[in-house]
Structure 1
């Protein structure tokens, strides 16, 4: 893929120029996907009064407010 405004001769692939961002983004995506196992999304078509069947208390609050080092 090429950015024709910055590189009209199509000499530099955009994916090469911004490739550094893939690592940080992949870590964020992996963390989000892992959170879906503990806190699944609201199912499609759920009623307005839907209540999840899992504990919504953040882990730090369960430990008495102390965060792990």
Structure 2
């Protein structure tokens, strides 16, 4: 089989491909979320869930108290 590229051209092509792959790999690493990022996001979501639940509980207690006072008031 006959070679289309001489050794110098093949080396340049290989170098260009390697550079492109390294650039692509570096860009992917910047965009991928790490385990630490995911853990921080999970902790933040759980914190806000508890804050929401406390607010909901306070609202329900307030409404029930108002209803009970309205019905049992004489």
Relative to its length, the structure with more helix (as a share) is: 2
Question: Greater Rg, structure 1 or structure 2?
Answer: 2
Q: TM-score, normalised by structure 1?
A: 0.35
Q: TM-score, normalised by structure 2?
A: 0.33
* Larger RCO (alpha carbons 8 Å, 6+ apart): 1
